Amino acid sequence: MHKHHSALGLAATLRPVQPVTLVRPHAASRAARFFAEKFPGRSMYAVKANPSPELLQILWDSGITHYDVASIAEVRLVSSTLPEATLCFMHPVKAQEAIAEAYFEHGVRVFSLDSLEELDKIVRGTKGATDLTLCVRLRVSSDHSKLSLASKFGAGPGETKPLLMAARQVADALGICFHVGSQAMSPEAYANAMERVRIAIVEAGVTVDVIDVGGGFPSSYPGMEPPPLERYFATIHRAFESLPVSYSAELWAEPGRALCAEYSSLIVRVERRRGSELYINDGAYGALFDAAHIGWRFPVELLREPESNARDVEFSFYGPTCDDMDHMAGPFLLPADVQAGDYIEIGMLGAYGSAMRTAFNGFGSDQTVIVDDEPMTSLYVAADEERALPSNVVKL
């Protein structure tokens, strides 16, 4: 993999014809250290956000030892990449064959479920194993999040008691998990979900050994600037301490976006301008799936030397395919004089950008370059700077 000092320098020097993915290992490492050191429990990476083997290794080297896998393919990937990692199969609906392979061939002992049918499947797939950690997933609100995850999975109030009681009979360790939705913009999301957990424990009268608050930890995007992550951690810790759980109960989390969003960005070239519409060489079927299909606004920057002095105006993007759906409405703020031949960096694509990419219509590029500059926005730079201060210096 090639290395360059900055996005601007790369664009100016190489003038790439195809899109180029920029990766920043130092940014992913910084995010992993932040969670490993500051989250008041165990952090496991949600592999679906970005399954890059290189990223998995960076996270492992920076203190992330547990991985949330959602398919047998992810189990195999992490098992082969990080043989000593602990894998947790957190998809609530799995094939029995996948459960069996995960348990007997890859050493998976942690499984999520949200129904009695899935519990039976896990028992059959593991041949009645007695060393399982079973995490019952509750359905909770996604009201505080930008993307809801409240409809597909999770046991409802009337289903929770019998499921917890049945899982307790089978599990060596019983857990409760939930997911507040992606990009939770308020710590209150976790406080509300933890109250749902408390009610479930009291109603079922079971001893619980694990509380897994799932994912949803946010990153920073235009118009979506969340509170500091420390506030989320403090809220979760207070709620956890008040739960009626085992004295030795563990607190888990499954950050995905928050660990990898800052890891990569994309350089695209403008192939045509039509008024306020820019035709670029990546799009909805490439790394910009979220920008097209759910209206996600990513940070953008014109890579030009010297810098443009024109005021910023709103643009939308069209991707390179022949499909009208290859459209990113934005708006994306760029200098008014942007034109064909210019390069644009689109930031915060480490989460889901690479994972959703296809080669539809023959477009796409696998070119990846390591860069040393900082991501376009970060929730961790200030924390990293504070860490680097000498012990006798007070940061004001």
What does the pLDDT look like over 366-387, one tens digit per residue?
A: 789 999 999 999 999 876 665 5
Joined together, the tokens standing for residue 352 give 């889901």
Question: Is 221 or 147 the better-scoring residue by pLDDT?
Answer: 221
Length of the chain: 396
Q: Do 143 and 288 belong to one domain?
A: no
- pLDDT band of residue 390 (cuts 50, 70, 90) is very low
Query: Cβ(320)–Cβ(358) under 8 Å?
Result: no
How much is the pLDDT for 395?
37
Q: Do 6 and 103 belong to one domain?
A: no
* CATH number of the domain that residue 302 is part of: 2.40.37.10
Number of domains the chain contains = 2
Q: Do 71 and 183 belong to one domain?
A: yes
Amino acid at 56: L
Burial 15-44 (b: 16+ CB within 10 A, else e): ebeebbbbbbbbbbbbbbbbbeeebebbbb
For residue 252, how many C-alpha atoms fall within 13 Å in the half-sphere facing its CB? 29
What are the CA-CA distances from residue 44 to residues 68, 96, 159, 354 (Å)? 6, 24, 27, 20
Residue 377 counted as domain residue: no
Burial 321-336 (b: 16+ CB within 10 A, else e): beeeebbbebbbbbbe
Question: Is 51 or 143 the better-scoring residue by pLDDT?
Answer: 51
Query: Torsions phi, psi of 88, nearest 5?
Result: -125, 115
pLDDT at 157 over 90: no
Q: Do 18 and 44 belong to one domain?
A: no
The total of other beta-carbon atoms located within 10 Å of residue 277's CB is 13
Cα-Cα-Cα-Cα dihedral sign, residues 379, 293, 353, 182:
positive
Q: Do 268 and 367 belong to one domain?
A: yes
pLDDT at 103 over 80: yes
Q: Which of 7-11, 164-168, 335-339 has the lowest mean pLDDT?
A: 7-11
The angle formed by the CA atoms of residues 239, 243 and 245, to the nearest 5 degrees, is: 140
The owner of tokens 């993999």 is 1
In angstroms, rounded to a whole number, what is the distance separating the alpha carbons of residues 189 and 32? 22
Q: Which of 13-22, 197-206, 271-280, 358-367 has the lowest mean pLDDT?
A: 358-367
How much is the pLDDT for 385?
60
Residue 139 counted as domain residue: yes
Residue 316 counted as domain residue: yes
pLDDT at 148 over 80: no
Q: Do 234 and 312 belong to one domain?
A: no
Can you give the pTM of this predicted structure? 0.92
Which residue range(s) make up the domain with 362?
2-22+263-371
- Is the backbone peptide bond immediately before 157 cis, with ω within 30 degrees of 0? no
For residue 246, how many C-alpha atoms fall within 13 Å in the half-sphere facing its CB? 14
Residue 391 counted as domain residue: no
Q: Do 275 and 235 belong to one domain?
A: no
User: Which domain-ending residue is among 231, 254, 277?
Assistant: 254
- Is the backbone peptide bond immediately before 306 cis, with ω within 30 degrees of 0? yes
- pLDDT band of residue 21 (cuts 50, 70, 90) is very high
Average pLDDT, the chain: 92
